[in-house]
Structure 1
Amino acid sequence: MSDPPKHRILVVDDDAEIRDSLARLVQSFGHEVETASDGIEALGKLPLDIDFVLLDAEMPALDGFEVAQRIRGMTEYAHLPIVMVTGLTRREDRRRALEVGINDFINKPVDRDELWLRMKWLLELKTTHDRLRAHEAELELLIERKTEALRAALDEMIQARRLVHEAQMDTIRRLTIAAEFKDPDTAGHIERIGLYSEVMARKLGLSPGEVETLRHAVTMHDVGKIATPDRVLLKPGKLDDDEWVVMQSH
Structure 2
Amino acid sequence: MNSPSSAANPTPVITARQIVKEFPYQGDAVHALRGVDLAVSRGEHVAVVGPSGCGKSTLLNVLAGIEAPTRGTVELLGESVYALDEGRRSALRLRKVGFIFQRFHLLSVLTAAENVELPMAEAGIGRRERRDRARELLEFVGLGHRIRHRPPHLSGGEQQRVAIARALANRPEVIFADEPTGELDRRTGDEIIALFERLNADGTTLVIVTHDPHVAGRARRRVEMADGLVVSGGEPS
CA radius of gyration, larger in: 1
Taking structure 1 as the reference length, what is the TM-score of the superposition? 0.29
Greater share of residues in helix = 1
Greater share of residues in strand = 2
Taking structure 2 as the reference length, what is the TM-score of the superposition? 0.30
